Amino acid sequence: MRRPSGSRSQRLICSVTASGIQNKAYAIIHEVLSEKPDLWTDAQLRDLAHQLASSRIDWRRGFEGERSSFYDCMQRLYTDNGHGDGRLALQVTKDKNLFQLLDAVSENNEAAVFGKPGSATLSMPAVNLLVASRSTMTELYDKVTNQAIAMVDRPYWEWSREHSLNEEVEALAHDLLGRFRYLFVALLTPSHDTVLYRVVASEGNRDGALIGLALELYHRENGKWPKSLSELSPRWLPKVPVDPMTGEPLHYKIIHDRPIVYSVGDDRDDDGGRWVRNDNGDTFADLGAPNHFDGMHEAVRFENRDGDWVLWSSLKRPNANENPTESEGSLK
């Protein structure tokens, strides 16, 4: 089923869109410092670093926006007994009853047969027995939303990858009774796994850009690259970020007089800073996943792809037509 138009807050979509815009900015910073490092002055690099550090996306606000939108839908679809509960309302808009609305947003015509006023009125008692009450519906939505919000505040290495955050909602698709009982939870809950993947990728890409700026400033002042990332703190970085996959120090090396900073990636295996490739030979930009967002409802499944998540490198990213050993040098 498709979501009713205007039925949900745009805040989470805005957060994801902002993340995409920021990633493009990080890519431009990478390109400039790799190909034209003298384009920006030291002062401009410092200003840019301060702007990046302060431009964190408030993902919690996005999730809360989704919750507010869900509550609004419940207000429209259910009666209100004054104690936070109620049953499904027959007439949900000025010109549509409940079944007509569901039919309008459905990819199949499951509800069309009940849309006629007479049929709708006769069907409502049975539907109210089958579909969860307002409080029960809201309780499940709050549960899965609170789980997602709690994950935003935890580092990725503490997450459990054995279970999907949307597992409880996804299970409804295989449970005929559950699918109808929690109809609106299944319909209005975004893919938390996909969104939280974006949170980790966005913050990792920002950390990479900040490290890149700090490395350039260090190199300008000292005429060489630091022996370790720890030398960047506290003068060029208040605190050196850790590997989001393990919580341990990020890996750092110099290849052909070019620095490379990388996480071990989703497989937790140090591959020497080698980019992950897909079956076509293209490299992945972050977390061993394609560099695009696949949609709010298409959960990104983590796979143990061979390779590392390169957070920063002024080495040229190899493409599908290049020999990895030639473009990546000793990274292979």
Contact 273, 331 (CB under 8 A): yes
Domain chopping of the chain, boundaries: 194-331
Does residue 114 carry a pLDDT above 60?
A: no
298-328 burial string, b = 16+ CB within 10 Å, else e? Answer: ebbebeebebbbbbbbbbebbeeeeeeeebb
Distance of alpha carbon 325 from alpha carbon 332, whole angstroms = 6
Q: Whose CA is closest to 286, among 195, 206, 201, 199?
A: 201
Predicted pLDDT of residue 294:
38
Lowest average pLDDT, out of 197-201, 258-262, 313-317, goes to: 313-317
Confidence at residue 7, expressed as pLDDT on a 0 to 100 scale: 41
Long-range contacts of 325-332 (CB under 8 A, 24+ apart): 328/274, 328/275, 329/255, 329/256, 330/255, 330/272, 331/255, 331/260, 331/272, 331/273, 331/274, 331/275, 332/272, 332/274
Omega of the bond leading into 125 within 30 degrees of 0 (cis): no
Mean per-residue pLDDT over the chain, rounded: 79
Q: Could you read off the pLDDT of 142-161 as tens digits, one per residue?
A: 999 999 998 888 888 887 66
pLDDT of residue 3 exceeding 60, the answer is no
pLDDT in the model for residue 163: 62
Reference 316, options 283, 268, 294, 290; nearest CA is 283
Contact 78, 87 (CB under 8 A): yes
Give pLDDT tens digits for 268-308: 888 888 887 665 555 555 554 433 333 333 333 445 567 88
* Per-residue pLDDT at 319: 54
Grouping H, G, I as helix, E, B as strand and the rest as coil, residue 61 is helix
Evaluate whether 266 touches 176 at the Cβ level (below 8 Å). no
Residue range 111-118: average pLDDT? Answer: 55
Kindly state the average pLDDT of the residues 74-87: 87
- Percent residues over pLDDT 70 in the chain: 75
Q: What is the pLDDT of residues 165-185, one digit of tens each?
A: 778 887 877 777 888 889 889
**Weakest mean pLDDT among 5-19, 47-61, 106-120, 231-245:** 106-120
